[in-house]
Each structure stands twice: as C-alpha cells, then as structure tokens.
A and B are shown apart, each in its own frame.
Chain A
C-alpha cells in the first residue's frame, strides 16, 4: 500500500506547490494588469494637465490665513478696506487696521518686510526691497509702469492691467481700481465682527469686561452680549453652523433608532425558529434585501421629492435603508439564540410575546445594541453626505462653501467640525457600548 501511495503523494505535493507558485505570480500580475487598465481608463496621464496646482496652493494658504483687500476706486478716489473683500467684513469709515494709514488723499499700506504700497491721486507705487520701486501712473486711461529693467516674471504687465505678486502680498492695478491683498495668518473675525464693540480686544480686556468691566450695553450683561455677538457672527455664522451640526446628528439618531424599532419585530418574522412558514419568511427576507439593494441614494432621491429638503427627509432615508440592514442582522442573531431559555419560559405557560420578551430579547440585546451603536456612528458620516443631497445639516453648508470656491477657511472650519463630530460620536458609541453591554 505505502509503496504505491508514496510516488503519487510526492507528485500531488509537487503539483500543488507548482500550482501555488503559479498563483503567487498570477494574482499580483492580474492586479497590476487591472490597475494599469484602470489608470488608462481613468486618464491618469491627462490628469497632470488638468490638475491645477495653483488651486491647491490657494487652498492650502487660504485654509489657515485670511486676506484683506485694500482697494481704491480710481474714478471716485474712495478707499475701502474689507476682509476677504466681503461686505460683512468691510471696515466702517474711520476704522482701519494699523498697517494702513490715510492722510490727505494718500494711502500707505505696509505689507511688512519693507514692502510698501502707496496710493495717491497721481497713481500708485509699490516698493519691493531688493528690487526697487514700481511706479504706475494712468495716462489716457491706461496704466503706464516705470520699474527697474528687466521686469521680472512676478510682475505681469498687460495693456489694461498690472499685477505684482510677492511673498508679502499681491497688488493689481486696472483702469477702474487698484487693489492690494495682504495675507495674514489666522481666521480673522472668528470671534467678533468689525461692527461688534468687542472687536480687537485682547483676551485680558475681554475677561475684564466680562467680569468687572462696565456694561457696554446697559440693557444686558457684558458676557451675555459677548455670547450673542459671537453666536450671531455674520462672517462665520456660528449659530447656524451649530444648528447644522445638530441637525446632522439628529438625522443619524432618528434614522438609526427608527430603523431599529421597525426592524426588531419584523426580524422575528424572518427568523427560521420563530416563523415556521417558509413562504412568508422568504417574503420578509426579500423585502429586507430589496430595501438594502435599492440603496440609500435612491431612497433619498425618492423621499426628498415627497417631503422636500430638510432633516426629516434625511432621517427617513437613513431609517429606510437601515431597516433592511438591521432586519438581516437581527434575524441572523435571532436564529442563533439558545433555545433552552425559551423552553424554560414556555414551561411556565407564557405566551409568544412573553417568551420573546423574557426568553429571547435578553439574549440578543447585546448583539442588537452593538449593531445599533455601530450604525449610529457610521450614520453620522452618512448623514453628512445625505445632507448634501437632501439639503440639510452640515453637509449642505460644506457643499455650498466648496461650490462657491471663495472662502476656503470656511471649508476648513466645516471640515474640522465634521471630523470632530464624527470622532465624538465614535467615542460616544464606544463608551455606550462598554457601559451597556459589558456593564463596566
């Protein structure tokens, strides 16, 4: 017996080894071939041309700094100073940052490190250390530049426009107006806008005002006034953003809980040990499969047609999708229970509802809770996306801020908040899981 088996065993072993070796090369080769195909079909080569790294530079610098526009209308001669060039960030007349001085129609802007821009009635001048003075005067309505030759490539001169880009800031001159942009680190006006009486005060001054200082507005306390000024900040809209975050969490909470409540009784109908009728069981399962298969995206679209945009639509969409997922996992949990406890309850003469309540639920509760908490956490993320589709919550604010392509520091702010929200929900659900399931 052994003598006949040995060669065949050796043969099979070598054959299997050879097959394994072939597989060890074939699988990576297949993956690489697929990735190559994907790279060609996604046009990765063309990406280099389409990619706009100047956008990336704008984005990265805008994430952590703000720019202030100092612009002069060349026709009327009025100078406006506005943060991010927005109406709500415009300095009121008579108020200006300390790096701008205005006297007798001459405006001097100190961009730092020796870069100085001057506007006057005759035109505009910019002093760049290590280079010289760029002097611009309008002649017959066209800007004429006098600057040390040769003109470097960071100065762009065309017929109607002169632009200078330096590390300290940017400067443009056109027929109608002259503008200087100064970049400064930080999210300006994050606490108080310019029209607020608390703008520009240091932490100590604010603390003093909040505790012992005289009332700015006699009708209310300083600390309450400060809170309301902060909450209604026109630039950053903290109040609206907080509402949006709350709405997103609300969507996730309502959707997940509603799904769990609906799915629990239905899952009994889909479990083999509780629903002996195979036909009916199969039908309930197909319903779960259908709901899951249609996908949250499609439910969201259908529901937002009926209920209009808003958090409730999002909550219902989450609830519907998750009813399918919960139904599946709950019924699987129900099929794996220990029948002995149910037997014991049955022996006391309990009916089906009581058997379920005291024999089944205590057994499956930890699994169910773990599932629900996991989905609550993951739905916080989904609610951001669903919010972008149905128009509610922080997802909407984020997509709007990105689509206007203007205020990237707002985008950075929202991203930070979303990440913090998701992390908070993550640890909350982890804490609840430990508390409720392990009983720590």
Chain B
C-alpha cells in the first residue's frame, strides 16, 4: 500500500525540532492503519467464505475429499476405452473448428468495429470532438453487457447455431478492444497527422495513413490477446447456449457414465487448443511489441 496516503495533514505538520519522535509517531500510525486494513480484509474474507460455504449445496470440507473422485472416475473409464480416443478426437474436430471460427470471426468483426469506435472516442483524433463522450459511453456499455446475456437473448430470436454467439462475442470484443485501442491511439505521435492535415488530407486519410501505421503493432497484439480470450468465451457460450465444442461437452457430461471417454477427449482437445493458441499468440505478440529477432 502506498504510504504517502497516510502522511500528516496540512497544518498538522510534525514538529521538526523532534524528528525522531515524529518519525516514530508516523510509523506507529502507518502500522495501525495497515493493521486495521489487514484485520478488516481477513474478516471480510473469512466471513465471505463462511457465507459462501453456507449457501453452497455441498460444504467445503465434505467436498474436499471428493475433488478427485470425479476426475479419477472419468479418467479410469477413459483409460479402459483408450482405444476409442483417436476416433472421438476426429469426430469432434468439426465442433472444435466451429468454436475457433466463432472466436475468429467475432474477433475480426469486433476488432474492425473497435478500430473505428476507438478513433472516434480518442481526444485529439476524433472526427467529431463533441461526440467523444458519447462514443466512450458506447464502448463502456458494450463492455458492460456480459456475452452470455446477449447470446441467450439472440438464441431466442435467431434460433440456435453459431451466429448468436458470434454477435455476442463481437459486441463485447468491440467494447473491450475499443478501450485498449483508444488508449494506444492517445499516445500516438501527432506529427504525421498534422503533416497529413497540412496537405489537405481528409479525416479517414489522416487516420489510415497517419495513425494506423503507428499503432498497428500494438493493436494487433491486443487483438491476438483478445482472440485467445474469445476462444475460451466461445467454448463457455457453447456450454451454456449452443454450438461448438462446448455444446458437445455438455451433452457428453449430461450422459454421464459410459461417455467419459468422450468427456476426456473433448477436455483434451480444448486444453491442447487453448495452450497452442496461447503459445502462438504469446510468441507472435512478443515479436510485434519488441520487434523481430534480428
């Protein structure tokens, strides 16, 4: 915690003739504040956990020794049927591709929307400076609505399929990336923009030729990070709504015993995909922001 926050107030400055006393006094006060905060935090945490434990269907201590029951049951059944696994992998590849496609399309659409919105919401670059707060609030609102809300409502209107998930994730992505993009654009060098303005370039030309080349590496890096997040979100939306590998996982889970080989196969597919995308985007982002290794 930052210590200056608890420094002496104006008018109550310590007596400089007795620095040692004043210093010890400040240390004591700081310790007291720290202690109070700590006690408060511990009280909040413990009462919170107790409350959550109370409202849970199963208790913590009762459930703790069961944590490994389900995974071991699943794994042992899958181990017996390990010969099936490659076949199941192949069966679920289309669903996996759908999940990744949902994330990719949503990231693309959301990213493009975020590009436009972020420039409109950046002070100093905006097309209509008076509307900057409007676009900022729009971004906030897009970020605030959780994907699941939009997805469930859209499933009701559009029927099943991947499109509701794409729209839901794209809207959220637009809001989340828009904020990050606008922070990057704020720090862009204004000189190229001024140069372009002096030769009579239009707003879109100034942005496309003056701002985008500067911010592209950072924007791309954020978009990749978002793609990573969106793959996870798309799997979760599949589990709650429909479409993709999440839905397959839900069906296999609901079937329960007898299909645990499928559960394991889908877990593995999902895990490997996430780790792979994680690693790839990590490496590529590193190259984008720190420059190519010579």
Contact = CB atoms under 8 A, between A and B. Distances in A.
Interface string A40-55: 0111100100111101
Given A313-B56, A399-B152, A402-B156, A295 B104 contact: no
A69 interface: no
B24 interface: no
Interface string A102-124: 00000000000000000000000
B116 interface: no
B4 A312 contact: no
B157 A52 contact: yes
Contacts of B44: 253
Contact of A305 (B70, B140, B246): B70
A273 to B, nearest CB: 20
Tell me which of B56, B69, B159, B235 has the highest count of chain A C-beta atoms within 10 A of its own C-beta. B56
A1 interface: no
Interface in A404-421: 405, 411, 415, 418-419
B124 interface: no
A428 interface: no
B293 interface: no
Interface stretch (B8-16, B79-87, B161-169, B194-202): B161-169
B221 interface: no
Contact of B5 (A311, A423, A439): A439
B240 interface: yes
B154 to A, nearest CB: 9
A38 B104 contact: yes
Given A308-B56, A308-B57, A389-B239, A297 B232 contact: yes
Contacts of A43: 161
Given A295-B270, A306-B66, A42 B240 contact: no
Interface residues of A, number: 70
Contacts of B108: 31, 34-35
Contacts of A275: none
Chain A interface secondary structure, helix, strand, loop or mixed?
helix
Given A44-B163, A295-B271, A298-B270, A384 B157 contact: no
Interface in B39-83: 41, 44-45, 48-49, 51-53, 55-60, 63-64, 66-67, 69-71
A67 B246 CA distance: 37
A47 B162 CA distance: 10
Contact of B56 (A312, A365, A389): A312
B66 A389 contact: no
Interface of A: 31, 34-35, 38, 41-44, 47, 50-53, 55-56, 59, 247, 250-251, 253-254, 257-258, 289, 292-298, 301-303, 305-313, 315, 365-366, 381, 384-385, 388-389, 391-392, 395, 398-399, 402, 405, 411, 415, 418-419, 422-423, 426, 435-439
Given A311-B55, A402-B153, 15 more contacts: A41-B98, A293-B275, A302-B67, A305-B69, A306-B63, A310-B57, A384-B148, A402-B152, A418-B149, A419-B141, A419-B145, A423-B144, A436-B2, A436-B5, A439-B5
